[in-house]
Chains A and B, each alone.
Chain A
Amino acid sequence: MKKVAKYDKKRIAELIDGTLEFYQLKDMMSSHKDPERFEIYREVLQDRVSWDDPILLPYGLHLYIVQKANGDRIVKCDCGHEFCDYKENWKLHARIFVRDTEEKMNEIYPKLMSPDPEWQVIREYYCPGCATQLEVEAVPPWYPIILDFEPDIDTFYNEWIKKPLPTVK
């Protein structure tokens, strides 16, 4: 029977960087999850960003929900760009590029392999600060912009992992 795994910061950093060998990933997938993963992961990510706002939750690749000194919780890119309150949809505060013609689709997909823009468009959301493509939606025209994730941060910290929320030093 597999034991509950335990990994150090170096291993989690390698996981984040995508440099682990497959047998190592397979071992992580097959083992019982390490309960302390979240804290180590959060620390590794915090060490990597250039700003000091404590990360409450990694929210997506490059995106974090961070704690501000005034008590606000906001969505922030690792480049430093601050989007909005974490209850809002950050995409509404991003820059958008919509592929709604065959020509624009053909920049990404060969002929016949893209969505037909009459049926479906591709919306690309970029960070206004670093121009990273943070999310892509493939939806029919008119579709409301999707608010992907509304985490219950307080329940997560207080009742699930039973750890204090990171605070501004």
Chain B
Amino acid sequence: MAKTLTGVQKKKRGIGWDGKTLKEMRKEITEISKETGHYAGLKTLPFKESDPIRFEKIYSKLRGGVVHARETAKKVAASPIVEQEGELCFSLYTPEADSIVTSTGIIIHVGTMGAAIKFMIENDYEDNPGIADKDIFCNNDNHVGNVHTCDVHTLVPIFWEGEVVGWAGGVTHVIDTGASAPGSMPMGPVQRYDDGYQVTCRKIGQNDVLSKDWLLESTRSVRAVKYWTLDEKTRIAGCHMIRDLVLDVIKEEGVDAYKQFMREIIEDGRRGFVNQVKTMLIPGKYRQASFVDVPFKDLDLPSFAKLNTIIHTPSEITVHKDAQFEIDFEGANRWGWHPFNATPVSITSGIWVMLSQTLVPNDRINDGAYYASKFGIPYGSWFNPDDIRSAHSNTWHALVAAWSPLWRGLSRSYYGRGYLEEVNAGNAHTSNWLMGGGYDQYGQLSAMNSFETSSCGVGASAVQDGISHSAALWNPEGDMGDMEIWEILEPLIFLGRQILPGSGGAGKYRGGNGWQSLRLGWGAEEWTMFVAGAGVMATDCGLMGGYPASAGYRFQANKTNIKERIEKGLPIPLGGDVDPDHPTYEENMDAEVVYRDRQAVSTQEQFGDYDVIMNYLRGGPGFGDPLERNPKQVEEDLNEKYILLRYAEQVYGCVFTEKNGVYTVDLQATEQKRKQIRKERLDRSQPTKEWMKGERKQILNENAAIQVKHMYAQSFALSEKFTNEFKSFWNIPEEWMIYEDDLGVPTLGSRINRFKQKKKQ
């Protein structure tokens, strides 16, 4: 019988271990890990247990080498996002794409690059286009499991004597990827096809050389080409350093030892995670929820995207008796025509960023923790869309809000066990993202996304205030960057940077404050700008009596008379908008257009010389009742302008005397005032069960804003459990329901709907 082509292909030796294909290896490792509950079925760790020093030596070499690759390679980049803010990360994988060791930086990409390699394995890249030594692959496809389009991955297979022994992966946050609006996280995209240039796990080079067609196509597809090009060189340099490192380790230790090591280090990571759960948490259930506004009704967008809605993310953490860690997001609402959608990999990978800063604060960040955890991510929700058309360019808008309450949940455990130093009331909604693009002050086609937002306020802990203007939960190393550097790179002059009083949530320990920059357009041509931040909603609660951080707003003025005012020596807007109840910017200029409103996401508008735009970086939530804050700390906050006088008085209950602009707290009067406020609390409040009767009537009468009803209608349509819990809590009759179709808003793409499915049945 003649040999068929398929038959010949089947007999082709795989590039995995012992002639297996990578697909076969992936299947085996998944199955045995699931069956045994141990990574790769390892019930013991013979290498680690028999020769721990050698085992740790290999680990240290690899970990140190991967961090070194990041630190060295980032010097290749010109992008301030990469070079200044450190928005890059490298990771080393097994042949099947399980992470062994990861660098510092944006470690969310441990999972996303793994997802890309798994995609190649699943789609038989081994046969076509082929995976060979010295190949280079690129991916930034959101639907493969990326976070958003601007996170561009370079992936390099590592071969030893004809066999794949692993993969090196590098990612950078690129300034522009050719979306329908400039900047790395643009507002404007509402479909995948607006999100920019997406590369789906493509082979872009062979023999360590990038293909000419790739270089031409990719550089013609994005703005800010120099940053794109140097970012790519950064990633390749880092991946090749890691490849050399692995080959050196194999030469020294032998390939069999390396293979055994990679299995054991992941199982060791899994065990370490379980151990930490038992050390620091309390078994049980923890519930929380986050909400982010999507105020799109009045934006310049396609009609089907023009609606106001709310992204709803309830979460239930279960710490099981056996220390298995589970997070269920049942009840989350639908994906939508906005750029805030996400993939399951991006939300779960981001959770590791968070856990590595609290629950597992060590350097063993690998896929072991993943194998010790379980996630429930509803299909059709905003972080698991059932439609490839979904846009993801500004996915952080929803992700950071979804993650922050998880910190609060875990903090209830830390609080219960007495690990008060680990308590965190949550995190800032890390925004605003100030973006724009056009021909910059050097006449080059460029784009910007100010990463000043790397420095927002941290949530308060149970023993101290949250750190102000200092950090973002997604990159533990971020800082605000130097104004002088931003001014070199962006056609915007600083008119000030200033702490925003009251932006951190009030509390016994207050949330870290946010801050504001005011920027003046200068030197660009045909430049556009827009803002992207949370606006009308606080994206997290406070903790144990603390208030949420403040919500967002925007300030922008176009066609101002600042030029004339400078020429005449008149005052101009400077610094922050420190008290929006008594604004001063408008007193110091005239402008044809002024936006001072809650529309904290906007689409592109032309931005010229002497136009001004504010960048407001948010604060973190507070911990504990503000009336318990040490009055001396309130005095300090007031004198250092972290809060305004009237809030020091009415929220913190303090009484001051003032001399030459310096406030001194009157402790006795403060004690009396605080007693009075407590009395007023009891007077103005009511028993919760009484209040519930009134709220129930509001629900029965369907009395709420359309965006609120839309949020519930979507969660009801996706989740029977959420619906039942809602109705049970409020004691709502069976026949009561809110349907998306009845709200008079666009419903394009709303396909998964348990009500419609029931009707069909």
Q: Are the C-beta atoms of B283 and A152 separated by less than 8 Å?
A: yes
Q: Output the nearest chain A residue to B285 by Cβ-Cβ distance.
A: A150
Q: Are the C-beta atoms of B650 and A107 separated by less than 8 Å?
A: yes
Interface size on A, residues (CB 8 A): 77
B464 contacts the other chain (CB 8 A): yes
In the complex, which residues of chain A have a beta carbon less than 8 angstroms from the beta carbon of B546? 136
Q: Are the C-beta atoms of B417 and A37 separated by less than 8 Å?
A: yes
Q: Output the nearest chain B residue to A118 by Cβ-Cβ distance.
A: B705
Q: Which of B537-568 contact A (CB under 8 A)?
A: 537-538, 540-542, 544-548, 550-551, 553
Q: Are the C-beta atoms of B545 and A134 separated by less than 8 Å?
A: yes
Q: Contact flags (1/0) for A17-59 with B, using CB distance below 8 Å?
A: 0101010010011100101011011100000000000000111
Q: Contact flags (1/0) for B671-697 with A, using CB distance below 8 Å?
A: 000000011011011111101100100
Q: Contact flags (1/0) for A86-110 with B, using CB distance below 8 Å?
A: 0000011111111000000011111
Task: Pick the most buried of A12, A22, A118: most chain B CB atoms within 10 A of its CB.
Answer: A118
Kindly state the interface size class of chain B when it binds its partner: 35 or more
Q: Are the C-beta atoms of A59 and B551 separated by less than 8 Å?
A: no
B391 contacts the other chain (CB 8 A): no
In the complex, which residues of chain B have a beta carbon less than 8 angstroms from the beta carbon of A37? 417-419
Q: Output the nearest chain B residue to A7 by Cβ-Cβ distance.
A: B418
Given A95-B688, A128-B682, A116–B287 Cβ distance below 8 Å? no
A134 CA to B625 CA in the complex, in Å?
7
In the complex, which residues of chain A have a beta carbon less than 8 angstroms from the beta carbon of B678? 130-132
In the complex, which residues of chain B have a beta carbon less than 8 angstroms from the beta carbon of A148? 286-288, 409, 412
Q: Which of B658-714 contact A (CB under 8 A)?
A: 678-679, 681-682, 684-689, 691-692, 695, 698-699, 704-705, 707-708, 711-712
Given A119-B310, A151-B284, A146–B289 Cβ distance below 8 Å? yes
Q: Are the C-beta atoms of A114 and B550 separated by less than 8 Å?
A: yes
Q: Are the C-beta atoms of A156 and B283 separated by less than 8 Å?
A: yes
In the complex, which residues of chain B have a beta carbon less than 8 angstroms from the beta carbon of A136? 541-542, 545-548
Q: B355: shortest Cβ distance to chain A, in Å?
A: 15
Q: Are the C-beta atoms of B287 and A124 separated by less than 8 Å?
A: no
A107 CA to B653 CA in the complex, in Å?
12
A159 CA to B282 CA in the complex, in Å?
11
Q: Output the nearest chain B residue to A12 by Cβ-Cβ distance.
A: B418
B257 contacts the other chain (CB 8 A): no
B422 contacts the other chain (CB 8 A): yes
B415 contacts the other chain (CB 8 A): yes
Residues of A bordering B, CB below 8 Å: 12, 15-16, 18, 20, 22, 25, 28-30, 33, 35, 37-38, 40-42, 57-62, 91-98, 106-116, 118-120, 122, 124-126, 128, 130-152, 155-156, 159-160
Would you give 27 A-B contacts (Cβ < 8 Å), ordered by A? A15-B420, A29-B361, A29-B421, A92-B688, A94-B688, A97-B686, A109-B502, A112-B553, A115-B551, A116-B536, A119-B708, A120-B537, A120-B538, A122-B538, A124-B685, A132-B627, A133-B545, A133-B626, A134-B545, A135-B545, A138-B291, A140-B310, A140-B708, A148-B286, A150-B285, A159-B321, A160-B278
* Sample of 19 further A-B pairs with CB below 8 A, known A18-B464, A122-B538, A150-B284: A16-B463, A25-B421, A93-B689, A95-B688, A106-B581, A111-B580, A112-B580, A119-B310, A119-B537, A132-B625, A136-B541, A136-B546, A137-B541, A142-B699, A149-B285, A149-B409, A155-B321, A156-B283, A160-B278
